[in-house]
Chains A and B, each alone.
Chain A
């Protein structure tokens, strides 16, 4: 399914007296992957929840391909992966992945294909408790893709796994959503991961979140230039790090 563009116009959200997101205007291009980077607690996740329609902005407007988030959610056009895999412990891996299609009111004919793609073929009938942390996260990613969403929201999906698994997941999984053509927004703490997985990196300031740098990642998808060892990769990492230091 072709992705949709996401427009935030003057979006503001506060909790009590604290502003989590200052009036913020930004556009995420259709079919592209944008990474949000910034200091802890700067409001990245709040912005993601606003775009998902899980929170309502106090000011401003969010439009997903011309519609408001609730409308897109209602037709199953959204999917999200969280830091915690959030698999339902009483469902098997297959049933957990199928839940994505079930909730989006879409056919579940892609379930087995996705189980293969994320490398869980032998574990389809296992319960989440029987899987490793990395495997659970793969299942969660598969669940977010099974409904073929227009917009994929990734809230630190690799944040809770160990460094090695994280690197492997990062290397294996991204083509899945790149190929589907979905628009993706990735919240992460890892600069390397952002450079590796996205087309564009937005560096946010400390709370309330403002955009302090907008850095394109114009490296061919899936090419060696995206590998952490590549010079092109490192050059962008340096640029992002400089921008991040400015936020401290």
Chain B
């Protein structure tokens, strides 16, 4: 009971400190106090409720479709193992396109209505569920499959009798992460143009500099996200009985494959994506004016002036994204290490960190931009915060993976906590750290472009906002392509670092 009360107590103390801080500053246009947030919510409850119902409904729709797609993809990968690498790579690539970039394109493709919100919510969830499900479907002991084969059955019966059931806990772990993500997708859809919803109210609040409204809406969406996260966790524990510890990141692909194989793979993936793009647009019979094809972008980018504009915007974006990315990773890993040295604090901090990780940070981006300014600082903070919580949770889980016997070996020699941390626990944490560093790449690009879209006057996010409103669809599509390539390149750099570091500290992880 005391264990359960502790986080609640910490939250209460934090709320009180928050209230006191705002009171001490003497009222501010940047920060709202808990009491003024509550006052706003009481006064505007009907408006907020209607928006919340709208956004949650769209998110739920997207959640359903995204997860169905994840199940279909996972079934494909298991049924046709040779497709695994290609399907996983394309799924990752599509997931790496920042939602704020797909948003305007979906808006022109769908026209008015909830289509973009629902699609973005689906795009925000399918990848993590897919990864969790594939891990679960594969995590079956050899003897279970032998048991089925001994009676002369094949892969289909193994799937129906063993794999599908064994993947259940993993599915729920994935669904739990997906629930808040679907809210994020729906809200970004609303940022890129919608009639109703929490995202629309937030945008309106930002234009009118209504501090209380922005803070109240961020609080409401954060609470919805946390509630969805806990509800699915509860449902999973009820149905399955236990939760496996899984790292929600794609399996490492840094094995010793020959360079020419990787080049062929890369070429195949690129070709498949380009073909899919062309065929999908043609099949849907979409107007070439707004539904650009690969050839259009090629012609557009052949022009030096266009390339210059685009690359200048990308440079501005990366100047925010890279420091934010590094700061988020460093602070997350650093705090995790610090908390391990102070186990008492870690016990109370872990549930709070898990809860905060479940908040789609984008919903709080307006608040952060308000508090830290619309320039470089605010944007970098948004990126860092977006990455900080998942890294913190992953690293804390990783630190716990230190084998108990090694910890005992150190203490039998009377080694201090710092010695244990640097010599045993941090090396044990590295695989989890790099797994979250890879997943942080798309997250960082999403955060930076969303912050730019919402507030700053710079970068590729702004370029997209401008071109979307001026119907410069060639430039809009080019932005998306460039962001996609950037995500893939950053991901490759992180994977390369991972390989270099893990080959020293955890060579058994490199298969």
In the complex, what distance in Å separates the CA atom of A72 from the CA atom of B150? 9
Stretch at the interface among A78-86, A114-122, A192-200, A202-210: A78-86
Whether B85 is near chain A, meaning CB under 8 Å from some CB there, is: no
In the complex, what distance in Å separates the CA atom of A80 from the CA atom of B162? 17
In contact, B146 and A80 (Cβ under 8 angstroms): yes
In the complex, what distance in Å separates the CA atom of A53 from the CA atom of B154? 12
Among the listed A79, A84, A88, which residue makes an inter-chain contact with B150, where contact means beta carbons less than 8 Å apart? A79
Whether B298 is near chain A, meaning CB under 8 Å from some CB there, is: no
Residues of A with Cβ closer than 8 Å to B? Answer: 49, 52-54, 70, 72-76, 78-80, 82, 84, 86, 88, 90, 99, 103-104, 147, 153
In the complex, what distance in Å separates the CA atom of A75 from the CA atom of B151? 8
- Which of chain A's residues have a CB closer than 8 A to the CB of B152? 53, 70, 72-76, 78
In contact, A54 and B144 (Cβ under 8 angstroms): no
Instruction: Report the minimal beta-carbon distance from B143 to chain A, rounded to whole angstroms.
Output: 4
In the complex, what distance in Å separates the CA atom of A76 from the CA atom of B144? 17
In contact, A80 and B141 (Cβ under 8 angstroms): no
* Count of A-B residue pairs with CB < 8 Å: 53
In contact, B150 and A54 (Cβ under 8 angstroms): yes
Whether B147 is near chain A, meaning CB under 8 Å from some CB there, is: yes
Instruction: Report the minimal beta-carbon distance from B507 to chain A, rounded to whole angstroms.
Output: 21
In contact, B143 and A84 (Cβ under 8 angstroms): yes
Residues of B with Cβ closer than 8 Å to A? Answer: 141, 143-144, 146-153, 157, 161-162, 165, 168
In the complex, what distance in Å separates the CA atom of A88 from the CA atom of B148? 11
Instruction: Report the minimal beta-carbon distance from B386 to chain A, rounded to whole angstroms.
Output: 37
- Known A-B contacts A70-B152, A103-B153; A54 and B165 likewise in contact (beta carbons under 8 Å): no
The chain A residue sitting closest to B165, CB to CB, is A90
The chain B residue sitting closest to A84, CB to CB, is B143
User: Besides A49-B146, A90-B168, 15 other CB < 8 A contacts?
Assistant: A54-B146, A72-B152, A74-B152, A78-B150, A79-B150, A79-B151, A82-B143, A86-B143, A86-B144, A88-B144, A88-B162, A103-B147, A104-B151, A147-B151, A153-B150
- Which of chain A's residues have a CB closer than 8 A to the CB of B149? 53-54, 73
22 contacts between A and B (CB under 8 A): A49-B146, A53-B149, A54-B146, A54-B149, A54-B150, A70-B152, A73-B149, A76-B151, A76-B152, A78-B150, A78-B152, A79-B150, A80-B146, A82-B143, A82-B146, A84-B141, A84-B143, A90-B168, A99-B161, A103-B161, A147-B151, A153-B150
- Which of chain B's residues have a CB closer than 8 A to the CB of A72? 152
Among the listed B144, B151, B162, B168, which residue makes an inter-chain contact with A73, where contact means beta carbons less than 8 Å apart? B151
In the complex, what distance in Å separates the CA atom of A86 from the CA atom of B141? 8
The chain B residue sitting closest to A86, CB to CB, is B143
- Which of chain B's residues have a CB closer than 8 A to the CB of A104? 151
In the complex, what distance in Å separates the CA atom of A84 from the CA atom of B144? 10
Among the listed A49, A78, A88, which residue makes an inter-chain contact with B151, where contact means beta carbons less than 8 Å apart? A78
In contact, A52 and B150 (Cβ under 8 angstroms): yes
In contact, A103 and B144 (Cβ under 8 angstroms): no
In contact, A73 and B143 (Cβ under 8 angstroms): no
In contact, B151 and A86 (Cβ under 8 angstroms): no
Instruction: Report the minimal beta-carbon distance from B155 to chain A, rounded to whole angstroms.
Output: 14
- Which of chain A's residues have a CB closer than 8 A to the CB of B151? 73, 76, 78-79, 103-104, 147
The chain B residue sitting closest to A70, CB to CB, is B152
Among the listed B147, B157, B161, B168, which residue makes an inter-chain contact with A86, where contact means beta carbons less than 8 Å apart? B147
In the complex, what distance in Å separates the CA atom of A54 from the CA atom of B141? 15
The chain A residue sitting closest to B162, CB to CB, is A88
In the complex, what distance in Å separates the CA atom of A103 from the CA atom of B153? 8
Closest 10 pairs between A and B when the two form their complex, measured CB to CB:
A73-B152, A74-B152, A103-B151, A86-B143, A82-B143, A80-B150, A104-B151, A90-B165, A78-B150, A84-B143
- Which of chain A's residues have a CB closer than 8 A to the CB of B168? 90
- Which of chain A's residues have a CB closer than 8 A to the CB of B146? 49, 52, 54, 80, 82, 86
Among the listed A70, A74, A75, A80, which residue makes an inter-chain contact with B147, where contact means beta carbons less than 8 Å apart? A80
The chain A residue sitting closest to B151, CB to CB, is A103
In the complex, what distance in Å separates the CA atom of A53 from the CA atom of B149? 8
In the complex, what distance in Å separates the CA atom of A57 from the CA atom of B151? 19
In the complex, what distance in Å separates the CA atom of A78 from the CA atom of B150? 6
- Which of chain B's residues have a CB closer than 8 A to the CB of A70? 152
Instruction: Report the minimal beta-carbon distance from B30 to chain A, rounded to whole angstroms.
Output: 52
- Which of chain A's residues have a CB closer than 8 A to the CB of B148? 103
Q: Which of B143, B146, B147, B148 counts the most chain A CB atoms within 10 A? A: B147
Q: Which of B143, B152, B168 counts the most chain A CB atoms within 10 A? A: B152
In the complex, what distance in Å separates the CA atom of A104 from the CA atom of B161? 13
In the complex, what distance in Å separates the CA atom of A147 from the CA atom of B151? 10
- Which of chain B's residues have a CB closer than 8 A to the CB of A86? 141, 143-144, 146-147
